[in-house]
Homo-oligomer: A and B are copies of this chain.
Amino acid sequence: MHKGRLEAFSDGVIAIIITIMVLELKVPHGDSIEDLLQLAPVFLSYVLSFVYVGIYWNNHHHMLQAVQKVNGSILWANLNLLFWLSLFPFVTAWAGENHFTTLPVFFYGLVLFCAAISYYILTKVIIGHHGKDSAFAKSLGSDFKGKISLVFYLVGMALCFVSPWIGLVPYVLVSLIWFIPDKRFEKI
Contacts and interface: CB of A to CB of B under 8 A. Distances in A.
Interface of A: 1-2, 5-9, 11-20, 22-25, 27-33, 36, 47, 50, 54, 57-58, 61-62, 64-65, 71-72, 75-76, 79, 82-83, 86-87, 89-90, 93-94, 97-98, 101-104, 107, 179-181, 183, 186
Contacts of A75: 58, 61, 181
B18 A20 contact: no
A86 to B, nearest CB: 5
A25 B21 CA distance: 13
Nearest to A25: B90
Most buried by B among A6, A23, A24, A86: A86
A33 B179 CA distance: 32
Contacts of A181: 72, 75-76
20 contacts: A5-B7, A5-B64, A9-B57, A12-B16, A13-B18, A16-B19, A16-B20, A19-B86, A25-B87, A25-B90, A27-B90, A31-B101, A31-B103, A36-B107, A54-B76, A58-B76, A58-B79, A62-B72, A72-B183, A75-B181
Contacts of A8: 7-8, 11
Contacts of A2: 65
Contacts of A102: 31
A93 B83 CA distance: 17
Nearest to A53: B79
Most buried by B among A12, A24, A25, A58: A12
